[in-house]
Amino acid sequence: MKKLLFILFVSISILSCKNDAAKEDDNKSEGVKEETADAQNPLIYPEETHFKSIRQVTFGGDNAEAYWSFDDKQLVFQSNNADWNVGCDQMFLMNADETFKDKMPPMVSTGKGRTTCAYFLPDNKHIIYASTHLKQDECPDTPLRKNGKYIWPIYDSYDIFVADLEGNIVKQLTNEVGYDAEPTVSPKGDKIVFTSTRSGDLELYTMNLDGTDVKQITHELGYDGGAFFSPDGSKLIFRSSRPKTEQEIQEYKDLLAEGLVEPTNMELYICNADGSDLRQLTDLGNANWSPFFLPSGDKVLFSSNFEAERGFPFNLYMIDIDGKNLKRVTHGETFDAFPVFSNDGKYLAFSSNRNNGGGRDTNLFIAEWQD
């Protein structure tokens, strides 16, 4: 479901990407050329100093939410690449060093319905993900506008499943009425956090890896979702819409009654893993979302369009967990989102519209990170 947000905004219009970086000065020494070669990579914009190197992984369709295995050897991601014979988001598996320009990765979901948010379990042999396949074989409709406003469908047919790496479902973790999706796993390997409407609102819950000991984490009106644990498993970072005025509250409730939300105004919130010490982290306006902790645990990387005038571009930003030292990390003119660090902290996987020829494809990139 997280990936739908960029479809809403990117579908408005597409701007051309930045020009390639200037060529190296011929007078530079060979040693300097070797050191700066990656800085001249046209996939890295000149201001993107945190990227030591970068490579493109996919080359077509909408590809997003690439999450690392606990041993950093593989990633699982979702795609609707028509060249892979899918028209609706399904889950695919890749080795960390692969690219998919002329080949298709193995599908690890059923190929039915719509899927979202796959994440590895600690054994590196299983994944969890949300899917609508129990209720429908076909892809559910994806409405994008209602009364002139962007909307996001919350399918009540989503449930969370465990599958092996051959695509066989081995367990169903949720069976409540309503939306259960957006699961991620604690780096400690003991808990899953997910979003559910079982209370009548979109709240965060945690559960054990086997689906037991379900606990509600958030309790305030608004869409709480896209949560991730800190590296030590002690905290959660997530996005929320949190309507405040009477009009906003009524509009939120009316849309939710139809299985819809409006995701254009969201801020980041942080709390302890049990829901205590909840506080708002950002107050930037527009949509702030897809947060992920840096390996140090004291900063968060996230996507935002708060500097945009027409809904885009979305870029990656970094902020301390006390809300200080906001810094822009990427400098694209369209869309950068879904940043996810490898467990060893050396690499960052993210989705971007860069290098798509001015079209609408959103591809996966893996960058070597440097502070």
DSSP letter for 36, please.
Answer: H
Cα 59 to Cα 81: distance, rounded to the nearest angstrom: 9
Q: What is the pLDDT of residue 10?
A: 43
Q: How many domains does the chain have?
A: 1
Q: What is the pLDDT of residue 38?
A: 58
Q: Residues of 239-262 as b/e, b for ≥16 C-beta within 10 angstroms?
A: bbbbbeeeebeeebeebbeebbbb
Pure H helices in 175-327: 246-257
Tens of each residue's pLDDT in the chain, 371 residues: 555 544 444 443 322 222 333 333 333 333 333 334 355 799 999 999 999 999 999 999 999 999 999 999 999 999 999 999 998 999 999 999 999 999 999 999 999 999 999 999 999 999 999 999 999 999 998 877 777 778 889 999 999 999 999 999 999 999 999 999 999 999 999 999 999 999 999 999 999 999 999 999 999 999 999 999 999 999 999 999 999 999 999 999 999 999 999 988 999 999 999 999 999 999 999 999 999 999 999 999 999 999 998 888 999 999 999 999 999 999 999 999 999 999 999 999 999 999 998 888 999 999 999 98
Its pTM stands at 0.90
Its domain, for residue 121, covers 4-369
Name the token pair of 259.
């299985």
- In one-letter notation, the amino acid at residue 3 is K
Name the token pair of 70.
């606990």
CATH code at position 227: 2.120.10.30
Q: How many residues does the chain have?
A: 371
187-to-70, 95, 284, 371 alpha-carbon distances in Å: 8, 20, 29, 22
